[in-house]
Structure 1
Amino acid sequence: MTPSNRARLAIFAALAVIGSLEAVDGQKPAPAQSAPATRFTRAAAIDAPIVRASAGLDKLLPRQAETIYQAVASRFRPARAMDTVTFMERFWRLPVNAGFSASLDHIKTGLVEAGFKEGALSGTLSPVLAVEEYPNGGNGWELVRAEMTIVQSAAGTAPERVFDPVTDYIALCMNSFSTPPGGVTAPLVYVGNGADAASYASVDVKGAVVMGDGRMGGLWREAVGLRGAIGVISSAPPPAYTRPDETPEVFQWGGVPYDEKLKAFGFKASRKVADRLKERLKAGPVTVKVDVETRFNPGPGKLLVAEIPGRVSPNEHIVMVAHIQEPGANDDASGCGTLLEMARALQAAIAAKAIPPPGRTLTFVWGDEMRASREWLQRDRGRQT
């Protein structure tokens, strides 16, 4: 979904919940059109494709909704939202790590440029932002570099890069440790499924890089935890929704257990990569060199909160959230960019008096997908009402 489509849906969803913007400083928006609560509830439950196709949606919104939408949409710049996506997509973003922190700072800078000032999130009528911290509990894993090269092969293809630095840049699993300086060289061993003991009945994998078609958890346990492999490659198929038969280069990123004693590594391989490695192994023994550099950055978790204070019921919040962590553009850099541009456009429209300030506080939150909303609620009891 493009940032502009995301924005349109977000604006209509906000309007459906807000009901109306309040008249302030002499501004007098058109009176809201009343509607039974059940109709609003029903509207909020409609999924996105139906909302886009619904010709009757306007009947469920306040009368001034289209005027407000046009004022905000005319100030929304999809290219500016995409700039945020482009900035963020280069990073493997996890809470506390450098990519997460850089992304949060990028969004914060955009808010400041839009007129949000850093300060307390209550007791003001001006747009405000704050960075809130909480005990993280994570290790802030960060990918610096991950390379695997076939250095010896009976197929005569060596040296041959295993993972493409562009299409496979998230192949290394979270919590993988660095290899020794200069990398490590080891035999590549294919064990079939690899997630059960039977896969190892006739093979010794100690000191090897093991490839298996099973899920990462079982493969790691059997090969690294129980048999001394230095690392693993899981070629387990991705979820069906990725249409793996049509997209053999697609794989799902993943993680391995954090283990300071084993200090091993894991990779996820697409069908395309796995099939190529299996072809090389059919021709004879394969030796690979693995060079991995990662960092761990333990510290407090952070979430970025921006607010346009309500003028009538400031303690009632309309909360919009996007998550920073995870790799890539669409999950959820596109949401982060769209939400930032939404905040900018709304504030610009209010500052220009194209629309009045909101009656309820508009709250924008960026953080960890698994914790941001919960941490925002727990920071202040008043937010839970």
Structure 2
Amino acid sequence: MVKQGIVPALLCFSFLIGCSQHGEEVPVDYFDIVRPEFTGQLAYETTDFVEDYWRVVGNTGFNKTIYLIADSLKASGYVLEEIAKDSDRLTYRIEKREMNYNTWESVSASLQITGDTEPILKSKTNRNMTYLNSPSTPENGIKAEVLWIKSSEGLDSANVKGKILFTEMSARRLYKTAIEKGAIGIISYDNPNYLQPEKNKTSIQFRSLPSQDDGDFWGIALSFEAKEKLTARLEKGTTDVLVNIQTKRYPSEELTIVADIKGSELPNERLVYSAHIQEPGANDNATGVGAQLEMAKIAAKLFSEKKIEFKRTMTFLWGDEIISTRRYIEEDPERAKGIKWGISLDMVGENTAVTGGTFLIEKMPDPSAIWTRGKDKHSEWGGEVLKLEDMKPHYLNDFIISKFKEQGKYANWVVETNPFEGGSDHTPFLQADIPGLLLWHFTDQFYHTDNDRIDKVSQETLKNVGTTALVSGMELVNSGTQFALDQVVNLKQRAINRLENEFELSKKAVENGEDLEDEIVLLKAWEDWYTKAIITVNDALPKSDSAVEKNIREANLSIASKTKELVETLKMPSQN
């Protein structure tokens, strides 16, 4: 996951209501069907394979992952799309695109202070030490003086030609000026506090430079331990280091792999799961790759054994984070019209006892992304405060939360949520007015570091996430009247619970001097969100259904009545 903050100014939208004819719904407990099949073994074994490689689009590890997925899909009964018959409902394809820049991979690296007998860093033990897109140094390395740059202003006045910069801030603030002034490379330390660097002294969070096919400016990121050694030497006076970086930069192609289980009744409507391959870690995101692959295998098995049916199409996509998902949505407008839901699997296999990262469902934008209080809280990433016009009312939030809470109770597994933050494969869905959310873990003390390895992964967590994600998807692609009615009941109850909880918080806020009208606006925002979310259950229906419409009206009247009651009660103290 490369979370890059909120997607600005998400526009309000409505969701299309399906109008194709469904068959009669048959009650199915998908948990009973999926739980015996989903062990997490394939997910774990896939994670173990993938995390061996530092994965960038087009490089060896990325491409080997694509073909590993292809082999597993083929063994599970998926047919290569180009040779598939019209009657084949399990298909996959590998999409190949030219790259207008070279791919990159690290070969080896070391950093040694002149006069020391051993390097303070070696890539064999710190594979994140080399900045992504760094070129190679000369074969025997390069020796140069290190200049400690403590501010961007300090760089402006320093003579850096032929020297190496050391900084304890983001190198992105310095590298352009450094190159212009003739520096040969940069050494940086910039590990955030949530990584607990003084505890995890050898961890290095990976860093990158812009792609530079012909450049020779390189970067090295330090662990806390290596930073302490270097700064101790720099404090004593002039310090030279020997840097040896060997990397590969070469032409390649961008690969994306897409598998489909074609729907029997509404094949043009679909759920899309997405898991990105690039990034170097095990949890991020080899676990998403592995969990999604086991989901695809089990779905195919259950379908082939005629234990389940798929009325709509279920799609599994693996590729480059955000880029592949956005392209899938944008390159085919007709296909995009039929995408009803998007679910992103990112960092889904954590051993939370080791990483500290709680399993989270990152919700579509709801009022908790405007007023974050009570039990709602952002991850360490935080999130931009949204506006009322940014809200995305839809039943997907509460449906997914309910299914995962059900599995959490069954497996004694902790399931939490966070308000919308953005930055992974769910954002392209939302930007395209498609319901989409994220399954992930945070705060992870090994996030983006070279200690994010297989020993931080839990097969049990992979099983819990994969099982519930697949069960949820099966209910969605087979949804109809009963599903819609069930969601009305669920949403009504969750709306009442939310309003009552928010009322208690607002009551305390007013008692503490907060503006009464502001608290009323908040309560009404939740009313508005839920009443609109309930209406979206119609997208599960082939056509208008009077029973569903009746239940929607009654539920929304109950929500409105509850809001009115709470607002009047909230006003009472101000009238005394």
Shorter-chain TM-score category? 0.7 to 0.9
Which among 166, 174, 180 is matched to residue 138 of structure 2?
180
Cα-to-partner distance string for 1:82-101 (whole Å, 9 max, x where unaligned): 11111111222111111111
- State whether structure 2 residue 249 is matched by structure 1 residue 253: no
Cα-to-partner distance string for 1:101-122 (whole Å, 9 max, x where unaligned): 1111111111112111212488
Shift of 1:141: 1.7
Does the CA contact (< 8 Å) of 1:88 and 1:333 recur in 2?
yes
- State whether structure 2 residue 319 is matched by structure 1 residue 367: yes
Which among 198, 223, 234 is matched to residue 270 of structure 1?
223
| Residue 13 (structure 1) aligns with | none
Q: How far apart in 2 are the matches of 1:323 and 1:106?
A: 14
Which among 176, 185, 189 is matched to residue 147 of structure 2?
189
Q: How many residues align?
A: 316
Which among 84, 87, 94 is matched to residue 56 of structure 2?
94
Cα-to-partner distance string for 1:221-279 (whole Å, 9 max, x where unaligned): 233x13222110111342x4434455444443221133455412011223332112111
Shift of 1:369: 0.4
Cα-to-partner distance string for 1:305-356 (whole Å, 9 max, x where unaligned): 0111111111111110100011111111100000000111111122223x22
- State whether structure 2 residue 84 is matched by structure 1 residue 84: no
CA RMSD of aligned residues (A): 2.5
Does the CA contact (< 8 Å) of 1:124 and 1:309 recur in 2?
no
| Residue 143 (structure 1) aligns with | 106
Which among 156, 159, 168 is matched to residue 117 of structure 2?
159
Q: Which moved more, 1:253-262 or 1:171-180?
A: 253-262
Shift of 1:289: 1.9
Q: How far apart in 1 are the matches of 2:87 and 2:256?
A: 20
| Residue 68 (structure 2) aligns with | 106
Shift of the 320–259 alpha-carbon distance from structure 1 to 2, 3 Å rule, reads: closer
Q: How far apart in 1 are the matches of 2:213 and 2:324?
A: 28
- State whether structure 2 residue 334 is matched by structure 1 residue 382: yes
- State whether structure 2 residue 26 is matched by structure 1 residue 30: yes
Q: Secondary structure at the match of 1:175?
A: coil
Q: How does 1:154-233 map to 2 (within 5 A)?
A: 158-165=116-123, 168-193=126-151, 196-199=152-155, 201=157, 204-223=159-178, 225-233=179-187
| Residue 61 (structure 1) aligns with | none
Shift of 1:362: 0.8
Q: How far apart in 1 are the matches of 2:291 and 2:244?
A: 37
Q: Secondary structure at the match of 2:250?
A: coil
Does the CA contact (< 8 Å) of 2:123 and 2:129 recur in 1?
no
Q: How far apart in 1 are the matches of 2:177 and 2:153?
A: 7
Q: How far apart in 1 are the matches of 2:314 and 2:125?
A: 38
Q: Once the two structures are aligned, what percentage of the paired residues are identical?
A: 30
Q: How far apart in 2 are the matches of 1:327 and 1:111?
A: 23
Cα-to-partner distance string for 1:342-379 (whole Å, 9 max, x where unaligned): 111111122223x2221111110000002111222244
What stretches of structure 1 of length at least 5 have no aligned partner? Answer: 1-17, 32-63
Shift of 1:71: 1.7
Does the CA contact (< 8 Å) of 1:191 and 1:200 recur in 2?
no
Q: How far apart in 1 are the matches of 2:272 and 2:244?
A: 44
| Residue 334 (structure 1) aligns with | 287
Q: How far apart in 1 are the matches of 2:96 and 2:186?
A: 35
Q: Secondary structure at the match of 1:92?
A: coil
Shift of the 170–103 alpha-carbon distance from structure 1 to 2, 3 Å rule, reads: same
Cα-to-partner distance string for 1:175-225 (whole Å, 9 max, x where unaligned): 2111122222222332323xx242464x533222221112111231233x1
TM-score, scaled to structure 1: 0.75
* AA matched with 1:30: V
